Amino acid sequence: MSSLYLNLGFGLYFLAMVLYASGLFFAKRSAPIFARSVTICAILSLSFYLGIRWHVAARPPFSDMFESLVVLGWAIAVVSVFIDIKYKNRIIAAGAALMSLLAIGYASLLDKEISPLLPALRSNWLTIHVLTCFIGYAALTVSFVSSAVILCRKKEDRSLDAISYKMTAFGFLFLTLGIISGAVWANSAWGTYWSWDPKEAWSLITWFVYAIYLHVRLRIGWKGKSAAWVSIIGFLAMVFTYFGVNYLLKGLHSYGS
């Protein structure tokens, strides 16, 4: 199938990042508005691509690394537009645009051939599990961007800290739903809710790190740089769960590579 919409989405993400950056460095008031519009166009382009791929494959486009990266890039952009509209924060929007660009850019290097689903994946739980996980991943990626900016700044920024916390809480909720739906799906596919597969184990590790983040923030009062470091560690655990497990460890989720 044609990759027109995929390539268009990649180009639009790059343009959006440039526009956000120009607004940051050159204080152009119109740049963020144009950047937001371009990002929305990129989201629509990728939506068309995923919809066409879904139609051609006659299955949800979530079965391999290429497809999941496209979904991730799409989801990050959706969250970033929400943050841009609600908080008018150009730095977060620019960082999120960069993360979307990296996801789609890496996806473009992978095999785009449509392959049939493995028997274990032929379930409605596939859509529920993948979407909840990737909504969570997208929110936690935006939280990572916020935390990274917090660590780079000398002065405390309460707005950035609030965005990081809210995105972590939102992402943690969907990460939890993703783990639960994955367990239900695993039981229907393999006859067990939990098998300590490497992906399952690292998902649980990631969940615990973000649970610690919420605990130290709400119960102990950590904010700013202290909380940001925990968020960074959580993001690294999430990245290893997503990439490292697929390429370095063998298990029931190896099909993701």
Instruction: Report whether pLDDT(43) > 90.
Output: yes
Provide the 8-state DSSP code for 243.
I
Dihedral of CA atoms 122, 204, 103, 59 in degrees, nearest 10, equals 10
Q: Hey, what amino acid is at 79?
A: V
Helices 158-190 and 125-152, axial angle in degrees (round to 10): 150
Q: Would the pLDDT of 183 be above 90?
A: no
Number of Cβ within 10 Å of residue 7's Cβ equals 14
**pLDDT score of 120:** 65
Please tell me the total number of residues recorded for the chain in this structure.
Answer: 257
pLDDT, position 185:
80
Is the confidence at residue 257, as pLDDT, over 50? no
- Whole-number pLDDT of residue 26: 67
Q: How far apart are CA 95 and CA 81, in angstroms?
A: 12
Domain spans of the chain, in order of start: 1-115, 118-257
Predicted confidence band at 44 (pLDDT cuts at 50, 70, 90)? very high
Q: Above 70 in pLDDT, residue 255? A: no
The amino acid at 85: I
Average pLDDT over residues 81-101: 87
pLDDT cut 70: percent of the chain above it = 92
Nearest to 75 by CA among 16, 139, 146: 139
Question: Of 37-41, 122-126, 135-139, 242-246, which gets the smallest average pLDDT?
Answer: 122-126
Mean pLDDT of 105-112: 87
Q: Which of 33-47, 119-133, 240-254 has the lowest mean pLDDT?
A: 240-254
Q: How large is the average pLDDT for residues 118-145?
A: 86
Tell me how crowded residue 214 is: count the other CB atoms within 10 A of its CB.
15
Q: How far apart are CA 120 and CA 126, in angstroms?
A: 9
Percentage of residues in the chain having pLDDT higher than 90: 37
**Does the pLDDT at position 28 exceed 70?**
no
Average model confidence (pLDDT) for the chain? Answer: 85
Report how far residue 72's alpha carbon sits from residue 13's, in angstroms, rounded to the nearest whole number.
Answer: 13
Distance in angstroms (rounded) separating the CA atoms of residues 8 and 39: 11
pLDDT at 21 over 70: yes
